[in-house]
Amino acid sequence: MPRFAVPGRIAVNGRAAATWQTATLTEIRRETPHAATFRLAVPRWAGHLPGQHLQLRLTAEDGYTAQRHYSIASAPDGSGHIELTLDHVPDGEVSGWFHTVARLGDTIEVRGPLSGFFAWAGDRPALLLGAGSGVVPLMSMVRHHRAAGLTVPLRMVVSARSPEELIYASELGAETTAVFTRSAPPGVPVGRMAPAHVAPLMAEQPDGGWEAYVCGSNGFAEHASRLLVAAGQPVERIRIERFG
Amino acid sequence: MNVTRGFTGRPRVHDPGLPPGQYDAREDWPVLSAEVTPDLRPADWTFRIDGLVESPHTWDWDSAHALPASAYDGDIHCVTGWSKFGVRFGGVSLDAFFNVVRPHESATHAIATSHTGYTANLPLADLTGGRAWIAWEYDGRPLPPEHGGPARLLVPHLYFWKSAKWIAGITVLDHDEPGFWERNGYHARGNPWEEQRYSGD
Ligand SMILES: Cc1cc2nc3c(=O)[nH]c(=O)nc-3n(C[C@H](O)[C@H](O)[C@H](O)COP(=O)(O)OP(=O)(O)OC[C@H]3O[C@@H](n4cnc5c(N)ncnc54)[C@H](O)[C@@H]3O)c2cc1C
């Protein structure tokens, strides 16, 4: 029989998941030509674990609403602020508003955090694979690892079209390997994430192995999870967040 | 109402087939499973009903296909916001399986389990009466693995996380027991027409 399983989960606060709260835009930072970070003040934010996401709602004058899910980019810090990083999707209803209309002081609604499944509590060695804006929830984990001074091993492999499209490029450190699919800096090969990127990390896995987190488009998630399984990562220790 | 400054949104479509807060995904069929897509061949697939039933039973691919074929033509709705109109699934009505195992009088709920270990809880009434299927065909072709092939549960009148992919079994219970997403804050029933997305909705 083939072997597969779903990993365990971390309980979420059902109340926080059900209650809409007003969030105020306090900062906008450009990350790449197509992505920007939006900092929100959410005074009654219940706190989150790295990897969790929220639901966001925009409301038009006539009561029409658009709802989307966004990963939380910031580490949990008790500041009453959270950060989201949004790709500007061409003609995107919600990301379009953020990238072309939003300005400081604007208010929107959020509820969450949602889904404990993709959360990382910072207690187990973590191997993170992401592509495009799929790096967002993984960056929350990297930031938390740094801010809390954690010593548990953490490694990340991120894929971007080009160095200019690599979100959080200036923040990535020795824990991260970047893979470029369209154009790369001199001396760096161009290509998809491959067994050669995963094998060295599997070889240096700590005692007890890695918890693997995969995030990005469905195409990337299928590709990256197959790389992990082929490299020997147990399926019940691979968590996947697909952006649809 | 909390109006977002400068937000107008897409042109309004008044589609009576669209539950509140949903949009028409048209050709798209997003995949949102949280686990690795299993490499499960029809020859390895089994489906079992047990728990509060007269005679628990396990079907394999061939014995399940020997039951009377039944199709669903209609719409599906995902909790993340997309709906898909006019889809066609082929398989067998769950009633045909329940007729074999015969649930006890005391049975009220069920928990569906995938070959991956994924679970979803449902009231038994949502699984009977011609409203639920074991489906192995989509649009006349084998159901793709990413969408739950070789066979998935299909309960199209509820949000689609209830329609467990890679279905392995259904355990009949006399009480409700939360499944995978339900323990992660999602609603116990998930009726899209009442927008039951998260617990408390
Ligand atoms: C768990 C999760 C976490 C995510 N995290 C992030 C993140 O951190 N950063 C990020 O940039 N993105 C993230 N996404 C993707 C995000 O939710 C949106 O899909 C994305 O921002 C595009 O939304 P949009 O409104 O700009 O684009 P739209 O094009 O308006 O909508 C997105 C998609 O939905 C469809 N759609 C929506 N509304 C309609 C409609 N009325 N009519 C027709 N089609 C419609 C379109 O087919 C389109 O492909 C995440 C998604 C999920 C599920």
Rounded to two decimals, the ipTM of the complex is 0.90
Report which ligand 1 atom has the smallest distance to the Cα of A137. Answer: 8
Query: Which whole number is the average pLDDT over A182-196?
Result: 95
Res B48: pLDDT: 98
Computed over every residue of chain A, the mean pLDDT equals: 94
C-alpha span between A214 and A51 (Å, rounded)? 10
| Tens of pLDDT, residues A62-103 | 999 999 999 999 999 999 999 999 999 999 999 999 999 999
Q: Note the pTM of the prediction, 2 decimals.
A: 0.94
- Is A14-114 CATH 3.40.50.300? no
Ligand 1 centroid, distance to A218 Cα (angstroms): 13
What spacing in Å lies between the alpha carbon of A68 and ligand 1's midpoint?
A: 6
Confidence of residue A2 (pLDDT cuts 50, 70, 90): very low
Q: pLDDT band at B185, cuts 50/70/90?
A: confident
Round to whole Å and give the CA distance between A39 and A72. 10
Residue B180 located in a structural domain? no
Say yes or no for a CB contact (<8 Å) between B118 and A93: no
CATH code of the domain in which B119 resides:
3.90.420.10
Cβ–ligand 1 contact at B63 (below 6 Å): no
Judge whether A79 is closer than 8 Å to chain B, CB to CB. Answer: no
B4:A60 CB<8 A: yes
Q: What are the structure tokens assigned to A233, written together? A: 């990562």
Which ligand 1 atom lies nearest to the CA of residue A95? 26
Protein residue whose Cα sits closest to atom 7 of ligand 1: A70
CB contact under 8 A, B185 and A14: yes
Torsion angle, alpha carbons of A222, A223, A229, A235, to 10: -20
Ligand 1 atom nearest A69 alpha carbon: 17
Alpha helices in chain A (DSSP H): 14-18, 93-100, 135-147, 195-203, 218-230
- Which segments of chain A belong to CATH 2.40.30.10? 14-114
Cα–Cα distance between B89 and A230 in angstroms, integer? Answer: 32
pLDDT band at residue A1 under the 50/70/90 scheme: very low
CB-CB under 8 Å, A225 with B37 = yes
Is A235 near chain B, with CB under 8 Å? yes
Closest CA to A105 of B140, B4, B55, B164: B4
**Nearest C-alpha to atom 4 of ligand 1 is from which residue?**
A70
Alpha-carbon distance of A48 to A116, in angstroms, equals: 9
pLDDT at B35 over 60: yes
Region A195-203: mean pLDDT is 97
* Residue B199 forms part of a structural domain: no
Preceding omega of B150 cis (within 30 degrees of 0): yes
Distance CA A36, CA A28 (A): 7
Q: Is the peptide bond before B19 cis (omega within 30 degrees of 0)?
A: no
| B187, part of any domain | no
> Does a structural domain hold residue B92?
yes
Residue A5 pLDDT grade (very low, low, confident, very high; cuts 50, 70, 90): low
| Model confidence pLDDT, tens digit, residues B52-100 | 999 999 999 999 999 999 999 999 999 989 999 999 999 999 999 999 9
Please indicate, yes or no, if residue B85 is contained in any of the structural domains.
yes
Separation of CA A153 and ligand 1 centre (Å): 32
> Would you say residue B69 lies in a domain?
yes
Longest dimension (CA), chain B: 61
Burial class (CB in 10 A: 0-12, 13-18, 19+), A29: exposed
For the A126-242 domain, the top CATH level (class) is alpha beta
Percent of chain A with pLDDT strictly greater than 70: 93
Q: Which of A4, A9, A65, A225 to mutate to test the interface with B (most CBs of B within 10 A)?
A: A4
Roughly how many angstroms between the first and final C-alpha of chain A, as a whole number? 30
Does residue A38 line the site of ligand 1, with CB under 6 A? no
pLDDT at B160 over 50: yes
B28 Cβ neighbours under 8 A, 6+ residues apart: B82, B84
The CATH 3.40.50.80 portion of chain A extends over: 126-242
Phi, psi torsion values for B121, nearest 5 degrees: -100, 145
Confidence of residue B174 (pLDDT cuts 50, 70, 90): very high
Q: How many CB atoms lie within 10 A of CB B166?
A: 26
Bridge partner residues of A39 (DSSP): A27, A83
* Cβ contact, residue pair B199, A18, below 8 Å: yes
**Residue B106 to chain A, least CA–CA distance (Å):** 29
- Minimum-distance ligand 1 atom for the alpha carbon of B32: 53
Residues 205 to 224 of A: which have CB under 8 A from any B CB?
218, 221-222
Confidence tier at A18 by pLDDT (50, 70, 90): confident
| Pairs of CB atoms within 8 A across A/B | 141
Domain count, chain B: 1
Under an 8 A CB cutoff, do A116 and B6 touch? no
